[in-house]
Amino acid sequence: MQARFRRLAEKERRAVVLTVDGEAVRALEGDVLLTALMLSRGFARMSEFGDGPRAGFCMMGACQDCWVWTGAGERLRACSTSVAEGMDIRTHVPEGIWPIPA
Amino acid sequence: MADPRVIVVGAGPAGIRAAAALVEAGLVPTVIDEASRSGGQIYRRQPENFTRSYEQLYGTEARKARALHTCFDALRHRIDYRPETLAWAVKDGRLHVQSGMTAEALPYDALVLAPGATDRMMPIPGWTRPGCYSLGASQIALKAQACAIGEKVVFMGTGPLLYLVACQYMKAGNAPVAVLDTTPFHRQLRGLALMAARPGQLVKGARLIAALRAGGVRVVRGITPREVTGGEAGVTGVRYADAAGRTFHVECTAVGIGFHLRAESQLADLAGCVFAFDPAVRQWLPAIDAMGRSSVANVYLAGDGVRVLGADGAETSGKLAAQAVLADLGRPQPEDRTRRLLRDMERHVRFARGVARAFPWPHDKVAAIPDETLVCRCEAITAGELRAAVTALEAPEVNRAKAFSRVGMGRCQGRFCGLASQEIVAAACRLPVEKAGRLRGQAPVKPLPIAVTDGGSHA
Ligand SMILES: Cc1cc2nc3c(=O)[nH]c(=O)nc-3n(C[C@H](O)[C@H](O)[C@H](O)COP(=O)(O)OP(=O)(O)OC[C@H]3O[C@@H](n4cnc5c(N)ncnc54)[C@H](O)[C@@H]3O)c2cc1C
Ligand code: FES
C-alpha cells in the first residue's frame, strides 16, 4: 500500500503517534484518522464483500465507507474522528469481537 | 405561556440564519449539528490549530464566510447549541438525537430542518478503489485537512463544484491533471438566460474555467465516464469516451467525482412531509410553500436540504423559514422584510434552474452503466443484479426492487446509490423515472453506535 493524500499546507502542527494494525503511524494534531491513514497506508478497511480495500468516499460522514475499529472493538468513522496520541486502530474487526451489523 | 420550543437541525448557512432570526425575535432555539464546528459545508471551519486565513480558505467567499461565523459566534450563548449531535429520526412529534452514547427524544413546537446536501453520484466501474473520492470529499480534504486527495488528480462529473474544486486545487499548488465534464459545451449555454438572474455568480463561474485553461489544465466536455482504473492498491487512472465515442485513458493517482448535489431529505421524509417529483433535477423533493413550510404543520425546511440553491439561497431560505415559524407562532414579522426576502429567493430559484439546465444529471449515461458496475458501495450490489431483480421479479418500483436486491438498504441509506438506482430501475422497466417509485427514508438516517442508551426526553 502507498500514501495517497498529499499535504499542501499546515505542516507545522504538533506530531501525534498512533498505531494502525500494530504499526506506528505519525500524524499531526488536527488530522482526522482518514487523513492519517491516507498519508500512510492508503486505505481504511477491507470490504466485507471481498472486492478489495476501501478508503472512504465522502469525507463528510455520509457514506460510511471509512469504518475502522479500535483494539477494544469500538467502531469509528475515520473521516470524522480526530487522531489522538496512542490510539490503537485496526483496519479489520479485531478478533474475538462480534462483527457489528450496520 | 412558556416560550415555544423551536429546534433547528443544521448549523450551515440556512440553519444559522434561521437561528439568528429566531433569537432576534426573543426565542432560544435548540441548534443540533452533527459536526464539531459550525459553518456547514461551504463555510466549513478548519480545525482550531490550523492557521490559514479566510482569504486562503474561502477565496472570493471569504467575506461571507466571516460574516456567517461571526453571526454564529455571537449566538452561541443565546441558543441551546448541541454540536456533535446527530438527528436520526422524527417520530410522533419528537426529534430523536444522539450524542456520544446518549440518545434523547426532543419535543418541539416548531422544527426547522436545514441538513444540507451531499454529492449526487453516478456509479462508475472502479469507483470504490482507494483514491476515488466525491468532489465534496476532495474539497473537504483541502479545506479541513490542507491535503490534496492525491498528487495527480482528475476531476470528473458535472456541476459548478467540478470547476470550483479544480480551481481550488490549482490555487493550493496541486493543479489537476484534467477536468472531465459529462455536459457538452452547447448544453452549458442553455442555462445562461436563467443564470443571468445572478450575474455576479455567472461571471465567477466563467472566471473559474478561464483560470483552469490559463493554468494549462486540460478541460474536456461531453465525456462519458468508462472506468476508474487501477488495482488492489488503488487508482491508477481514468478511462473515458469523448463526445465522438473515442476512448482515452488519463493516468492519475486520485479521482474526484460528482454530478452536482442532492438534498438530504430523509428527516423531512420521516417527519411525514409530502414529496413531489421535480423534473428539472429528476429528484423527489419535499414540497414547500414560498416561505419553507412543509406539508406538516410545524415542520419547516430550508437550505440545500430541501432544494439545492447554493449558499446565498440557503441563507435567504433560512431567514424565510424563521419568519414562517414566528408568524405561525403568532408573532408576525414586518411585511416589507418578508417581501424583500421572497424577491431575493425568486432570483436564487431562477439561477438554480439555470445551473440544473447547464449541468444536467446525465441520466441516460447512468441508466446505461455496464452490468458489472457496483451500484451500491455498502452491500456490493451491481447494476446487473439490480436489473435482474426488477425484470425477473417484476418489481417495477424502487422500494420493492430495493427489498429484492438490497440496493439502498446499506449503511449509507441510499445516499450514493439511490438516484442512480432509480434511473436504472426506470430504464430496465421502460418507465419514466417518476413512475419508478421513490426510495423512502428510514430511521436511523445514519448508523448509531451500538451502545447508545436512552437519556430520556426533557419534556
Ligand atoms: C461537500 C460539499 C461542498 C460544497 N462546497 C460548496 C462551495 O464551495 N460553494 C458553494 O457555493 N456551495 C458548495 N456546496 C453547496 C452547499 O451545500 C451550499 O452552498 C451550502 O453549504 C448549503 O447550506 P445549508 O445550510 O443548506 O447546508 P450545509 O451547509 O450543508 O449545512 C448543513 C449542516 O447540517 C448538519 N446535518 C446534516 N444532517 C444532520 C443530521 N441528521 N443531524 C445533525 N446535523 C446534521 C451538517 O453537519 C451541516 O453542518 C457544497 C456542498 C457540499 C455537500
Ligand atoms: S468517508 Fe464517507 S463516511 Fe467517512
Superfamily covering domain B6-118+262-355: FAD/NAD(P)-binding domain (3.50.50.60)
ipTM: 0.95
Superfamily covering domain B121-259: FAD/NAD(P)-binding domain (3.50.50.60)
CA distance A98 to B122: 34
CA distance B423 to B364: 8
Whole-prediction pTM value? 0.95
Residue A86 amino acid letter: G
Q: What is the pLDDT of residue B430?
A: 86
In chain A, what residues touch B50 (CB-CB under 8 Å)? 10, 13, 30
Q: How many CA atoms lie within 13 A of B446 on its CB side?
A: 19
DSSP letters for B97-110: EEETTEEEEEE-SE
Q: What is the pLDDT of residue B459?
A: 37
Query: A56-81: per-residue pLDDT in tens?
Result: 999 999 999 999 999 988 899 999 99
CA triple A36-A40-A45, angle to 5 deg: 75
CA distance B25 to B322: 10
Quick check: B457 pLDDT over 90?
no
B188 or A17, which is more confident?
Answer: A17
- Counting as low any pLDDT under 70, the low residues of chain A are 1, 96-102
Kindly calculate the radius of gyration of chain A based on its CA atoms and give it in whole angstroms: 13
B250 or B440, which is more confident?
Answer: B250
Query: B189-215: per-residue pLDDT in tens?
Result: 888 888 888 888 888 888 999 999 999
- For the residues B38-58, what does the mean pLDDT come to? 96
Query: B378-389: per-residue pLDDT in tens?
Result: 999 999 998 988
Query: B153-164: per-residue pLDDT in tens?
Result: 999 999 999 999
Query: B70-93: per-residue pLDDT in tens?
Result: 999 999 999 999 999 999 999 999
CA triple A45-A15-B136, angle to 5 deg: 50
CA distance B425 to A69: 35
Q: Specify the residue with its C-alpha closest to ligand 1, atom 9.
A: B42
> What stretches of B327-422 adopt beta strand conformation (E)?
374-376, 381-382
Tell me the percentage of chain A whose pLDDT exceeds 70: 92
Q: Are B267 and B289 in contact, with CB atoms under 8 Å apart?
A: no
CATH code for the part of the protein at B363-436 = 1.10.10.1100
Quick check: B1 pLDDT over 60?
no
CA distance A91 to A36: 13
Chain A interface, mutation test: which of B145, B151, B407, most A Cβ atoms within 10 Å? Answer: B145
CA distance B344 to B332: 20
Using the mean position of ligand 2's atoms as its centre, give its distance from the Cα of residue A34 in Å.
Answer: 9
Alpha helices in B359-417 (DSSP H): 363-367, 383-392, 398-405
Quick check: B450 pLDDT over 70?
no
Domain residue spans of chain B: 6-118+262-355, 121-259, 363-436
Count of beta carbons in the 10 Å neighbourhood of residue B177 = 21
Do residue A58 and residue B137 have CB atoms under 8 angstroms apart?
yes
In chain B, what residues touch A42 (CB-CB under 8 Å)? 130-131, 233-234
Residue B433 burial (10 A CB sphere; 0-12, 13-18, 19+) = buried
Cell of B423: 434511473
- Encode B208-234: b = buried (16+ Cβ within 10 Å), e = exposed: bbeebeeeebebebbbbbbbbbbeebb
Residue B140 amino acid letter: I
CA distance A41 to B321: 46
In chain A, what residues touch B35 (CB-CB under 8 Å)? 80
Same fold, B6-118+262-355 and B363-436: no
